[in-house]
Amino acid sequence: MALSTNAKTTSRLDQVSSTTADLETEVERKLHFSQHAGLRHITYRIDGGTVVLHGRVPSYYLKQLAQVKVTCIPGIELVDNRIEVAVN
Model pTM score: 0.76
Whether 12 maps to a domain, the answer reads no
What pLDDT, in 10s, does the model give residues 24-78?
999 999 999 999 999 999 999 999 899 999 999 999 999 999 999 999 999 999 9
Whether 8 maps to a domain, the answer reads no
Whether 52 maps to a domain, the answer reads yes
Number of domains in the chain: 1
Q: β-pairing, 50-54 with 43-47?
A: antiparallel
Whether 11 maps to a domain, the answer reads no
Whether 31 maps to a domain, the answer reads no
Whether 30 maps to a domain, the answer reads no
The sign one gets for the Cα dihedral 59, 61, 66, 67 is positive
Q: Show the domain range for 53.
A: 42-88
Burial class (CB in 10 A: 0-12, 13-18, 19+), 31: buried
Q: Residue 63: which H helix or E strand, with range?
A: helix 60-71
Whether 49 maps to a domain, the answer reads yes
